[in-house]
């Protein structure tokens, strides 16, 4: 995987690059040169593995999946089982991820080696943990994960498995995808090495691996950190009102809400949200 040195050109950091409108333009440009078919690469023509690591926001991932489906493009969505930011077993999150699969996209496992850091695990136990998480994804979504990647790749580079197939999943960290393909990533919400637009405007590469993280792309123009805060604060607020709405369902909110220090504005908003369900 040949990368440029970290791009010091501030133009590459423009937040305007990371809007939904711009994202759709990039997809349209890519589709004129590359074949999209998940992580299946066709050596007979220029092909792209267009992958999304869902690190923070399944909601943003679903917005991406709908745009891609509209353009009839099949992309790859890798889900975290051990995420600190969303719970795959939560009904609303599971529904979102099922819809992504129903839209025709490839589902894979995004494995976080951090979950193993406090435990001494041999190779057998390591593979067993990957298999365990694969079975969770399959059981919750009703689809088999096709491919695998590793969360925080550079942080755990020495531990990442290199064989082409791991527990029946195509390993997108193996040399075929990580060394032999042109690779572009939006990690941290910026183009640190190659700018995707420049890559797409170049003559087509035989094989292209594009990694994006849905959290970094929003409808409005925001700085990368503001995009991150938008996702995590939105999640926290949703949980706040979920708590209040549960109290509405059993009749407690109007009775004891003020005793708990819940503001009138929050009570009214929770009631309005509950009425729209």
Q: CA–CA separation, 48 vs 33, rounded Å?
A: 9
Higher pLDDT, 267 or 126: 126
Q: Assess whether 86 and 120 both reside in one domain.
A: yes
Residue 246's SS3 state is helix
Q: Assess whether 248 and 186 both reside in one domain.
A: no
Average pLDDT of the segment spanning 154-173: 83
Which of these three, 178, 198, 216, is where a domain ends? 216
Q: How many domains does the chain have?
A: 2
What are 41-94's pLDDT values in tens digits? 988 999 999 999 999 999 999 999 999 999 999 999 999 999 999 999 999 999
Higher pLDDT, 113 or 137: 137
Which of these three, 168, 198, 216, is where a domain ends? 216
Kindly state whether residue 184 falls inside one of the protein's structural domains: yes
Q: CA–CA separation, 172 vs 166, rounded Å?
A: 10
What's the pLDDT score for residue 15? 61
Higher pLDDT, 7 or 79: 79
Q: What is the domain range of residue 256? A: 224-275
CB 105 within 8 A of CB 48: no
- Extended strands (E) in the chain: 35-36, 47-54, 76-79, 106-111, 147-150, 165-166, 169-171, 182-185, 207-212
Kindly state whether residue 5 falls inside one of the protein's structural domains: no
What are 107-120's pLDDT values in tens digits? 999 999 887 766 66
Residue 29 CB neighbours (<10 A): 15
Judge whether residue 223 has pLDDT over 50.
yes
Judge whether residue 138 has pLDDT over 90.
yes
Angle between helices 20-31 and 58-70 (to 10 degrees): 40
Q: Assess whether 83 and 140 both reside in one domain.
A: yes
Predicted TM-score (pTM) of the model is: 0.88
Residue 157's SS3 state is helix
The HSE-up count of residue 73 (CA atoms within 13 Å, CB side) is 27
What is the CATH classification number for the domain harbouring 205? 3.20.20
Q: Assess whether 60 and 137 both reside in one domain.
A: yes
Least confidently predicted of 51-65, 176-190, 258-272:
258-272
């Amino acid at each position: 995987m040949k990368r440029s040195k970290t791009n010091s050109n501030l133009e590459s950091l423009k937040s305007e690059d990371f809007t939904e409108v711009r994202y759709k333009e990039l997809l349209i440009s890519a589709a004129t040169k590359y074949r999209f078919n998940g992580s299946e690469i066709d050596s007979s023509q220029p092909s792209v593995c267009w992958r999304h690591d869902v690190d923070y926001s399944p909601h943003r991932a679903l917005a991406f999946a709908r745009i891609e489906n509209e353009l009839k493009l099949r992309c790859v969505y890798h889900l975290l089982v051990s995420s600190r930011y969303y719970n795959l077993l939560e009904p609303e999150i599971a529904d979102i991820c099922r819809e992504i699969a129903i839209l025709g996209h490839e589902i894979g496992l995004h494995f976080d080696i951090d979950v193993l850091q406090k435990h001494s695990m041999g190779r057998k136990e390591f593979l067993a943990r990957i298999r365990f998480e694969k079975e969770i994804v399959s059981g919750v979504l009703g689809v088999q994960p096709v491919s695998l990647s590793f969360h925080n790749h550079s942080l755990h580079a020495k531990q990442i498995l290199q064989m082409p197939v791991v527990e029946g999943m195509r390993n997108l960290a193996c040399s075929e995808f990580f060394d032999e393909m042109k690779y572009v990533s939006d990690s941290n919400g910026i183009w640190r090495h190659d700018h995707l637009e420049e890559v797409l405007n170049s003559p087509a590469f035989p094989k292209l691996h594009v990694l994006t993280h849905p959290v970094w792309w929003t409808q409005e123009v925001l700085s990368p950190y503001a995009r991150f805060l938008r996702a995590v604060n939105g999640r926290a607020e949703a949980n706040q009102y979920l708590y209040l709405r549960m109290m509405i369902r059993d009749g407690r909110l109007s009775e004891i809400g003020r005793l708990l220090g819940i503001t009138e504005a929050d009570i009214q908003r929770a009631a309005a949200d509950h009425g729209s369900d």
